[in-house]
Structure 1
Amino acid sequence: MSLSQAEVKKVANLARLHLTEAEEEAFAPQLSAILDYFEQLKELDTENVEPTTRAIDVNNITREDVQSTYEDRESLLNVAPERDDDFFQVPKILA
């Protein structure tokens, strides 16, 4: 599939991209190659392939949370941008 410069311009507009004329010319064959690859993928038999979000199984490696008390509370409160007695003062986020 070969994209014209006008089609590249339309796609760029839909994607809210501001391309120069030189970029439009350069991207036309690149985007055409991508679309050709998708055409190749359409030829694959995916009838018995379950939908997935990843090609490989990925698991997070997490550690167990351990609560600990910080001994020097005053030093933490002293570095707060704003403080109200023994508490951090934060901006109000709900109206």
Structure 2
Amino acid sequence: MSEITPDLVRHLGVLARIQLSDEEVERLTGQLDVIVDNIAKVSSVATPDVSATSHPIPLQNVFRADEVGEVLTVAQALQNAPDAADDRFRVTAILGEEQ
């Protein structure tokens, strides 16, 4: 027996403030019914001894620990810059926002 009826879809449309045509109601009735059936199938196999997962493969943190390492000096960072001023990269304004 189908849980989703055209009247229920129309009611949901009203609640969501979406105006649905008869064609849309018919299409959505079938689609929502399939979704509800699939949820019921999953619910029937979801037992307390099966733990919930958000991902099929166990994940772990893939980031390395932050460690202080060698850093560039200002001179090294700016050595290949086309233009520099006051120990900073100097670039042309691109939005007409001259400072």
Structure-2-length-normalised TM-score: 0.56
What runs of 5+ residues in structure 2 fail to find an aligned partner? 64-70, 84-88
SS class of match (2:42) = helix
The sequence identity of aligned pairs, in percent, is 23
Distance 1:9 1:45 in 2: 31
The aligned residue for residue 48 of structure 1 is 49
Partner of residue 32, structure 1: 33
Alpha-carbon deviations, 1:68-93, whole Å to 9, x = none?
A: 7462333x242244232xxxxxxxxx
TM-score, length-scaled by structure 1:
0.58
Structure 1: gaps of 5 or more residues: 85-95
Structure number with higher relative contact order (C-alpha < 8 Å, ≥ 6 residues apart)? 1
Aligned residues: 81
Instruction: Assess, with a 3 A threshold, how the Cα gap between structure 1 residues 38 and 60 changes in structure 2: closer, same or farther.
Output: same
CA RMSD of aligned residues (A): 3.3
